[in-house]
């Protein structure tokens, strides 16, 4: 007799507590293999296919597409143990079978992506073995998730006679069972005199968009940044003509192309080595400033799902070529909606190139819990005094928003001035290496 196993929404990591069902990949009655993705969910950070640790026949699904589920809520039940189910691959420790294992893409193993497998159709033998388990699980699911959990016909009649909608009640009995006392309490509430309320102001008209998913996560993080961080912004115009000429010379010799963002990132890591106060975070609970040893550089990437900030790990150890390749890789994953939650967290400093939108300047909001963000406007020809004469030069505006708790204006100004000097004369960077 197959054993019915319940698979719950796993902890997707990085403090995420819920996920929205985007698309079911299996239906009730389908045969699934171990580690086969069964549902696609959207968290506040990424779109993720969730693999099931059991192999067998799907007996129930919980939740509809578009519904948000908390971590730990049931996703599906699987009947495990029929002799003709797809064979599970041997575990890495030499074992086999359908015991729960760390989900691919979660936990300590991020090296193997979740994969789809071809599954065999359900045979007559499998159907005969599994149908009783399917029926039992479906009955349980109907009781647990049905619109009304009522057993007593007297309770139903009492509610019907008095116009009480049982679907609006939450039962106080076992597993949410609606009792006579629940209906009587609802009746008492209905018969109580309604309080006199002030006339409500008319609700604003227009399209309503749920503030959830990526948009909700961005809203929460930016609001928290404004609440907790006393930020300040300084800015400077810089002549980027020499930087653009250096990039053209580097790309003229062949090999992978170097992006402007990569050059600016390399300048940032050198500046943070000189001004480590800006590569830090504030521990409010301990009342301490924590200076961080590595630069995990976030960069803003606009996608169809909204603004994302992928993180380049240990950016201080990368050259412009390596930075260009990593920026390109993470940007492609972001636009395809395939970034893992770990790719979007852990940043220590953010580089925001809003010049790609055709604007000159901005006052960036710090990406909490970081301490600073460098904003870069568009690089464009402008009149500029160069060597005592008026000339047309490639000019860019640089903006630094910083947490005033971690440093004063002198440190922030020194950081920004060093960045501008490297932009105007890349040789300054070479001398500091």
Encode pLDDT of 245-278 as tens digits. 999 999 998 888 999 999 999 999 999 999 999 9
Read off the pLDDT of residues 128-170 as tens digits, 9 standing for 90 and up: 444 444 444 444 444 434 445 665 666 777 888 888 887 788 7
Q: Rounded CA gap, 216 and 44, in Å? A: 7
What pLDDT does residue 339 have? 87
Give the chain's radius of gyration (CA, Å): 29
**Distances, alpha carbon 347 to alpha carbons 297, 367, 414, in Å:** 6, 9, 22
Higher confidence at residue 143 or residue 408?
408
Q: How much of the chain exceeds pLDDT 70, in percent?
A: 77
Does position 62 have pLDDT exceeding 50, yes or no?
A: yes
At residue 175 the predicted structure's pLDDT band, cuts being 50, 70 and 90, is: low
User: The dihedral of CA 353, 356, 360, 363: what is its sign?
Assistant: negative
Read off the pLDDT of residues 216-225 as tens digits, 9 standing for 90 and up: 878 888 899 9
Q: Rounded CA gap, 80 and 120, in Å? A: 15
Q: Rounded CA gap, 223 and 16, in Å? A: 18
The 3-state DSSP class for residue 300 equals coil
Lowest mean per-residue pLDDT among 65-69, 225-229, 234-238, 391-395: 65-69
Read off the pLDDT of residues 359-404 as tens digits, 9 standing for 90 and up: 999 988 999 999 999 999 999 999 999 999 999 999 999 999 999 9
What pLDDT does residue 174 have? 64
Active-site amino acid positions: 404, 408
Domains identified in the chain and CATH numbers = 3-145 (2.40.50.100), 227-432 (3.30.559.10)
Mean of the per-residue pLDDT values of the chain: 81
Instruction: For residue 90, count CB atoms less than 10 angstroms from its CB and return exposed for 0-12, middle for 13-18, buried for 19 or more.
Output: exposed
DSSP code string of 19-45: EEEEEES--TT-EE-TTEEEEEEE-SS
> Mean pLDDT: which of 114-123, 165-174, 323-332, 336-345 is highest?
323-332
Q: Rounded CA gap, 52 and 35, in Å? A: 5
Q: Rounded CA gap, 184 and 175, in Å? A: 19
């Amino acid at each position: 007799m197959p054993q019915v196993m319940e698979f719950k929404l796993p902890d997707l990591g990085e403090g995420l507590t819920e996920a929205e069902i985007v698309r079911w990949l299996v239906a009730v009655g389908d045969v699934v293999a171990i580690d086969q993705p069964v549902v696609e969910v959207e968290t506040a950070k990424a779109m993720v296919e969730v693999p099931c640790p059991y192999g067998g026949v799907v007996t129930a699904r919980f939740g509809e597409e578009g519904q948000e589920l908390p971590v730990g809520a049931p996703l599906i039940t699987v009947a495990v143990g029929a002799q003709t189910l797809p064979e599970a691959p041997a575990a890495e420790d030499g074992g086999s079978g359908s015991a729960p294992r760390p989900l691919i893409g979660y936990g300590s193993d991020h090296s193997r992506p979740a994969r789809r497998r071809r599954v065999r159709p359900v045979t007559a033998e499998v159907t005969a073995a599994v149908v009783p388990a399917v029926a039992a699980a479906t009955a349980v699911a109907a009781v647990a998730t049905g619109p009304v959990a009522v057993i007593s016909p007297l309770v139903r009649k009492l509610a019907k006679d008095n116009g009480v909608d049982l679907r609006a009640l939450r039962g106080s009995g076992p597993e949410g069972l609606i009792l006579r006392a629940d209906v009587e309490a609802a009746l008492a509430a209905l018969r109580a005199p309604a309080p006199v309320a002030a006339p409500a102001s008319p609700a604003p008209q227009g399209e309503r968009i749920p503030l959830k998913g990526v948009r909700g996560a961005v809203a929460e993080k930016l609001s928290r940044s404004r609440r907790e961080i006393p930020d300040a912004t300084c800015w400077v115009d810089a002549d980027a003509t020499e930087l653009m000429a250096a990039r053209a010379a580097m790309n003229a010799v062949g090999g992978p192309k170097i992006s402007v963002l990569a050059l600016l990132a390399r300048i940032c890591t050198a500046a943070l080595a000189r001004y480590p106060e800006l590569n830090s975070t504030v521990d409010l609970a301990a009342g301490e400033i924590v200076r961080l040893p590595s630069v995990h550089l976030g960069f803003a990437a606009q996608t169809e799902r909204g603004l994302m900030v992928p993180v380049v790990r240990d950016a201080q150890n990368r050259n412009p070529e390596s930075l260009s390749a990593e920026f390109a890789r993470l940007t492609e994953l972001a636009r395809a909606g395939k970034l893992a939650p770990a790719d979007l967290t852990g940043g220590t400093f953010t580089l925001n190139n809003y010049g790609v939108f055709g604007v000159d300047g901005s006052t960036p909001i710090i990406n909490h819990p970081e301490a600073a963000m460098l904003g870069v406007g568009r690089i464009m020809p402008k009149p500029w005094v160069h060597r005592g004469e008026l000339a047309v030069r490639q000019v860019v505006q640089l903006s630094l928003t910083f947490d005033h708790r971690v440093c004063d204006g002198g440190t922030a100004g020194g950081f920004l001035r060093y960045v501008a000097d490297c932009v105007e004369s890349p040789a300054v960077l070479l001398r500091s290496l």
